[in-house]
A and B are shown apart, each in its own frame.
Chain A
């Protein structure tokens, strides 16, 4: 018996090595040629607490977890409660546990999953090794991953550790691997090429990589989960390319430091999450008015307020779209996949530099923290140039040009001296309270964004059909899973994933929506923010085909593909009307 797609989860106390176990399995599978995704999940504690490694290994590219876990290893039953509503099982699920639980959780009883106790801790103590390493060996054997590859991956993973530690880990791995479990599990199979899936990265890291390749050399930021590891990656790697990261005293400072650096001619970025983005709203208004290019990466977590810092949500959309005072045209982008992060961040930097405005890129915790094993990602090539000063024409920093883009001098330029200003200013940059000046400059700032040719980068359309689904960010992968399932049931749907959220690419959307019978907006937030945004914007397409439906739910529980498929089926079969319809 064999499967092409398997999801497993390992849970344990923080410090028990659950994440390391997940990483080792992912690495080994990748070496074998499988694609994979690892979602790390932690409790709120600084040390200790709960942690879980949710893993999906597949013969095709994967960027989401499966609906059901086929395999679970529980190192401590007490730890399972914080994750229980993120876990689903069925009668084929095999659960290996340290000991039988006193009270079997209801979700497990209902699923009829098979429970198989195994005293990992006792075994580890006897052999002077670690329980998590026995678990890795055991799981690898069940999945049919070769021992030699696992050993090689372990040596690589622990290359900086002491030899004695590696030896004891290997004892654990071999013990687990050889252990004869009184239960069967189908091995992984169906490799597409056997070729290495040799790229291993998180979305946060890939955003950093894309940004540096696009020319970012200055970063100022204040630590915040789940953006901090993006900043840590940038700090080390900026050093390699001659750039610098400044840890600011708060987000009010970080956004303004970006403004200063970018005014000085150095492309600048910050990364934050919801509460930090709120503090930056003031500075973003200044960047719009003074026409300073910069990129803010928002790694969305559960909100509002401190919310659920370690888990994913798509609830900062309204803030990103509408969070500024006054009329403040700016750009909002989003990666459409983990593997799109380098492309999306580099493209965002280019937009900021060319259009001299702030860009907010909406990522999320799932994208940021999940590790994928895959092939080389797509990169956006090209480094944007700002509109330069042409001295013979007489320099006007805010000249009302046809494109709306004005020349931008960098300090040091003899013929370009000007004062940037957050006050309404004329073409020269001189403050003014005249209505004509306000009108001219507001028009100009809007025009430059609307006239720009975003080419085919505005988004991606997958599949075809009269049912059109619209989304952005991390949930695209799970929707694609759902649409594959629906196709087998004879329902054909196209998925429109937006990389450009503002200004909304109305013409492109109109084309992508032509022939639609139903338009379904799916998003991970409580207020159906994307749905309401699209409804207000699509209103201008007077001949909007089909009815607009919303499927929105907050985090932290991820969407399942079966929930999405079920919703779409209901819509198609007209079983769902009213509630959040718009048409």
Chain B
């Protein structure tokens, strides 16, 4: 199968996702983006945590790591630092990325490591059967409370912006073509790319079907101005899509140092008294 064919980047494994789940769109967009970029499969690695979204690596035919809840970004960071030659992606969900992995998200943005992060946000914990997540709207049913949810949701794009991500976009599982374009641009971007995907959960949040009518592109074009991006987000209702912000800033880490010692025994010298 040729590299241009998206099927080349998918495995034969059958996803465990529910019929109609938004995650299928993300998997397809991922395969299409890789096909467009004609990346060699063995040079791509995709790392995930735990949750519905995080099952994705096994459904691809590139190197994968299905890790533990919340820790996909540290695994991906270690891999990218050790192997800068690889194209490294991370797939995560709203719980995985903004709750248990929140600290890692902030620090990955801050470092600007050259990784593409895809957060498949369905506003719910699907795998554990429907508890509220950090992006669930206030007033929603709360399984672990006798009352409605009384905590405001995290703002993923604003958090990415203030934390230092250099590419910030939002896609929607109902817009596969746009999502493929965003993913392609995100992978091509040199720096930490956050692709927030509104990803319908047909099982626990059937009301998300309404997204189809509500989701609209950002009115403004992509900006490289941090303040402008913030102003756009002030007016954002969470349902605007497209590439919000893209800037060139210093990549971390810099080039790996070349060994300066001929032999490792040279390290002994610092312990030997003249």
A→B interface (CB under 8 Å): 27, 30-31, 156, 196, 198-201, 205-206, 209, 212-213, 217-218, 220, 237, 239-244, 246, 248-250, 252-266, 268, 282-283, 285-286, 290, 411-414, 416-423, 430-431
Contact = CB atoms under 8 A, between A and B. Distances in A.
A423 B57 CA distance: 13
Interface string B263-274: 010111001111
B258 A261 contact: no
Interface in B62-83: 62-68, 70-71, 73-83
Contact of B42 (A213, A220, A268, A412): A412
Contacts of A282: 68, 71
Contact of B268 (A27, A209, A217, A259): A209
11 contacts: A198-B273, A209-B268, A218-B82, A237-B267, A244-B257, A246-B78, A253-B104, A261-B79, A261-B82, A290-B67, A417-B41
A422 B261 contact: no
Contacts of A244: 81, 253, 256-257
Nearest to B260: A240
A264 B64 CA distance: 11
A281 B61 CA distance: 30
Interface of B: 13, 41-43, 45, 47, 57-58, 60-68, 70-71, 73-83, 85-86, 103-104, 106-107, 253, 256-261, 264, 266-268, 271-274
Contacts of A250: 103
A242 B13 CA distance: 39
A260 B42 contact: no
Contact of A290 (B65, B80, B256, B271): B65
Nearest to B107: A249
B82 A266 contact: yes
A253 B57 CA distance: 20
Contacts of A156: 273-274
Among A237, A246, A282, chain B packs the most CB atoms within 10 A around the CB of: A246
Closest CB pairs A-B (n = 9):
A260-B78, A419-B64, A257-B78, A256-B74, A261-B82, A260-B79, A242-B259, A266-B82, A260-B75
Contacts of B260: 239-240
B256 A252 contact: no
A241 B57 contact: no
B78 A261 contact: yes
Among A31, A237, A250, A253, chain B packs the most CB atoms within 10 A around the CB of: A253
Contacts of A418: 63-64
A246 B77 contact: yes
A264 B74 contact: no
Given A249-B106, A256-B75, A260-B75, 18 more contacts: A239-B260, A241-B259, A252-B71, A253-B71, A253-B103, A254-B74, A256-B74, A259-B67, A260-B65, A260-B79, A263-B79, A285-B68, A412-B42, A413-B42, A420-B65, A421-B65, A422-B66, A431-B58
A283 B43 CA distance: 25
A282 B86 CA distance: 26
A237 B271 CA distance: 13
Contacts of B256: 242-244
Given A242-B258, A283-B71, A418-B64, A268 B78 contact: yes
Among B41, B66, B103, B107, chain A packs the most CB atoms within 10 A around the CB of: B66
Among B75, B104, B274, chain A packs the most CB atoms within 10 A around the CB of: B75
B271 A201 contact: yes
A68 B77 CA distance: 51
A260 B274 contact: no
Contacts of B83: 261, 264-266, 411-412
Given A200-B273, A431-B58, A240 B261 contact: yes
A473 to B, nearest CB: 21
B257 A209 contact: no
